[in-house]
């Protein structure tokens, strides 16, 4: 009987190791490739309450580049990504109105708890309180997942994992250089 229990424990351990190895390769940060102009899908519109202030409506920011970052308080890599986004938000060109950054919290905790967590970290960029339904509409499979939406509303870049400030600024520069019809 003890041998059977030992075999079951050993088998369980092997399954855990294989699962962990698969997870680290399946969700590893990878390069973000811009999505071709011809195949870009329109970013799903959403209206969600800001942690401090009125509702945020994505479609009201058409004409700007918008970074949408799905995150959660329990996500370690999210805590690495958020200060990068906050630095870009704080240091964007003064008076520039061509960039919006919005964090999307998918936590199930009360808004007040999320707001306190954000305040403790001194984050200034806007954050909305959302749910997993919105994340599902965007096809989010892990956190953080960041979308860079071009001024026409198309998803230019989708990235699971952490992006550095130089990587994000390169993506923003690529979008600024794209030809846009005058309107």
Q: For the segment 61-101, what is each residue's pLDDT rounded down to a tens digit?
A: 999 999 999 999 999 999 999 999 999 999 876 556 789 99
Report yes or no: 177 and 44 within 8 Å, Cβ to Cβ.
no
40 confidence band (pLDDT: 50, 70, 90): confident
Give the global pTM: 0.79
18 part of a folded domain: no
Based on the structure, what is the number of domains in the chain? 1
Distances (CA, A) of 132 to 30, 43, 106, 145: 23, 16, 6, 13
State the pairing for strand pair 99-105/127-129: parallel
21 confidence band (pLDDT: 50, 70, 90): very low
CATH code: domain of residue 63: 3.40.30.10
3 state SS of 177? helix
pLDDT at residue 83, rounded to an integer? 97
130 part of a folded domain: yes
Containing 119, the helix (H) or strand (E) segment is: helix 111-120
153 part of a folded domain: yes
* Percentage of the chain modeled with pLDDT above 70: 75
Please count the other Cβ atoms lying within 10 Å of the Cβ belonging to residue 62: 13
12 part of a folded domain: no
Of 152, 156, 140, 135, nearest to 67 by C-alpha is 156
- Residue 169: DSSP 8-state: H
Domain of 57, in residue numbers? 40-177
108 part of a folded domain: yes
Please count the other Cβ atoms lying within 10 Å of the Cβ belonging to residue 155: 20
Q: Any idea which of 23-32, 73-82, 118-127, 161-170 has the lowest mean pLDDT?
A: 23-32
Task: Tell me the two tokens of residue 56.
Answer: 């945020």
């Amino acid at each position: 009987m003890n041998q059977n229990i030992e075999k079951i424990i050993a088998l369980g351990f092997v399954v855990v190791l294989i699962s962990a190895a698969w997870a680290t390769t399946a969700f590893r940060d990878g390069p973000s490739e811009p999505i071709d102009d011809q195949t870009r899908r329109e970013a799903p519109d959403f209206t969600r309450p800001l942690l401090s202030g009125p509702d945020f409506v994505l479609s009201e920011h058409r004409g700007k580049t918008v970074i949408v970052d799905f995150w959660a308080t329990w996500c370690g890599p999210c805590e690495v990504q958020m200060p990068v986004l906050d630095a870009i938000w704080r240091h964007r060109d003064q008076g520039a109105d061509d960039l919006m950054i919005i964090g999307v919290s998918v936590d199930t905790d009360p808004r007040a708890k999320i707001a306190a967590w954000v305040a403790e970290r001194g984050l200034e960029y806007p954050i909305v309180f959302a749910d997993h339904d919105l994340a599902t509409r965007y096809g989010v499979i892990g956190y953080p997942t960041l979308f860079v939406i071009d001024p026409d509303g198309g998803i230019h870049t989708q990235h699971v994992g952490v992006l550095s400030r130089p990587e994000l600024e390169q993506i923003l520069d690529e979008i600024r250089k794209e030809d846009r019809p005058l309107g």
